[in-house]
Amino acid sequence: MALRIIFMGTPEFSVATLKALHAAGHEIVAAYSQPPRPGGRRGLDLQPSPVQKAAEELQIEVRHPLNFKGEEDRAAFRALNADVAVVVAYGLLLPEAILTGTRYGCYNGHASLLPRWRGAAPIQRAIMAGDRETGMMVMKMDKGLDTGPVALTRRVEIAPDMTAGELHDVLSVVGADAMVEAMAKLEAGALTTMPQSDDGVLYAAKIDKAETRVDFARPAAEVHNHIRGLSPFPGAWTELPIGGKLERVKLQTSTTGEGRGAPGDVLDDELLVACADGAVRLTRLQKAGGKPLDVADFVRGTPIPRGTVIA
């Protein structure tokens, strides 16, 4: 027998899990997602979320309440008579009435090795902190912020130059597979959970725009982790002297390099930049309104010669 599942998710990260559960033969009775937001080239058209688009393609009913404070929305959720709710990056805190509104409760696919990196930005924070490993966890949700007991864990190595975007894509697929396994065990009555440890708790705060500027006065490893942890979104940036004025440039990728100098000194003609300890080579950059370019193509059109100082 298939489970009756309510799916709750919003961004592209969630889509793989929705499709995998559907392909596994479960009945997705409704998909909850954040409401359409302004977007498009002019920012005027309302754009449905990736989950809404995927659900509509699968002919699944889509709902997007602003919250669950009203009894009408809570009653509509319960009326679906679902066995379980699966939550992957939905974007709303769920009240007790929703957490207990299905037969088996709500299970969340979370992109970290809990209790490390509870919260909104676990992928970015893991890379920015220089973690060498992360993973996906299937957790039974409770009223806390990512504090519920864990049902299943999948570990993923973080390669030295891996960006948040690359890790995002890996974890999306890993998480989908993990959730399908968890739901199969739940259906068979064989899914068990284990409480999270009280040790090692860290919170992955939402990325603030104020922390996206690169500070070359930090050690090279930290600068490198900062750049790749914010790539491709929201993007780490610096200002480069272009055409006689400073222009903001996003730094998409980098790698650590050999070299010494005062922080911000450009050490060669291919953007090896000195840091407090060692240096980073900027390997992919993007001007405002332009395409991302590998460093060789970037400096061919916009030379940043040795001896330039980046503040």
SS (H, E, C) 214-241: CCCCCCHHHHHHHHHHCCCCCCEEEEEE
91-109: pLDDT as tens digits: 999 999 999 999 999 999 9
Are 196 and 214 members of one domain? Answer: no
Mean of pLDDT values over 306-310: 96
Q: What b/e readout covers 81-110, taking b as 16+ CB neighbours within 10 angstroms?
A: ebbbbbbbbbebebeeebbebbebbbbbbb
What pLDDT is attached to residue 244? 87
Are 9 and 44 members of one domain? Answer: yes
What pLDDT is attached to residue 38? 86
Are 130 and 70 members of one domain? Answer: yes
Residue 1 reports pLDDT greater than 70: no
Task: Work out whether the CA dihedral 250, 282, 216, 165 comes out positive or negative.
Answer: positive
State yes or no: 114 annotated in a binding site.
Answer: yes
Question: Checking DSSP bridges between strand 84-88 and strand 4-9, what pairing results, if any?
Answer: parallel
- What torsion do the CA atoms of 114, 118, 124, 126 make, to the nearest 10 degrees? -40
CATH code of residue 25: 3.40.50.170
| 133 CA to centre of own chain | 15
Mean of pLDDT values over 168-194: 98
Are 168 and 232 members of one domain? Answer: no
Paired tokens of 231: 């790539």
Residue 301 reports pLDDT greater than 70: yes
Residue 298 reports pLDDT greater than 80: yes
Are 57 and 195 members of one domain? Answer: yes
State yes or no: 254 annotated in a binding site.
Answer: no
Q: 289 or 279, which is more confident? A: 279
Mean of pLDDT values over 289-296: 96
Length of the chain: 311
State yes or no: 112 annotated in a binding site.
Answer: yes
28-59: pLDDT as tens digits: 999 999 999 887 666 678 899 999 999 999 99
- Domain membership of residue 155 as a residue range: 4-203
Strand segments (E) across the chain: 4-9, 27-32, 37-39, 45-47, 62-63, 84-88, 106-110, 118-119, 133-140, 150-157, 203-204, 236-242, 245-257, 272-274, 279-287, 293-294
Peptide bond into 115 cis (omega under 30): yes
What pLDDT is attached to residue 42? 64
Are 199 and 216 members of one domain? Answer: no
200-224: pLDDT as tens digits: 999 999 999 999 999 999 999 999 9
State yes or no: 33 annotated in a binding site.
Answer: no
What pLDDT is attached to residue 311? 79
Are 178 and 74 members of one domain? Answer: yes
Are 154 and 226 members of one domain? Answer: no
What gap in Å lies between CA 11 and CA 90, rounded to an integer? 8
Mean of pLDDT values over 266-272: 97
Are 158 and 224 members of one domain? Answer: no
What pLDDT is attached to residue 40? 66
DSSP state of 87: E
Are 134 and 277 members of one domain? Answer: no
What gap in Å lies between CA 51 and CA 216, rounded to an integer? 38
Task: Tell me what the pLDDT averaged over the chain comes to.
Answer: 96
What gap in Å lies between CA 164 and CA 232, rounded to an integer? 7
Are 92 and 216 members of one domain? Answer: no
What pLDDT is attached to residue 41? 66
In a 10 Å sphere around its CB, with 0-12 CB exposed, 13-18 middle and 19+ buried, how is residue 59 labelled?
A: exposed
Are 146 and 258 members of one domain? Answer: no
Final residue before a domain boundary, out of 136, 170, 203? 203
Final residue before a domain boundary, out of 173, 188, 203? 203
Paired tokens of 176: 């989908």
CATH code of residue 247: 3.10.25.10
Domain count, the chain: 2
Share of the chain above pLDDT 90, in %: 95
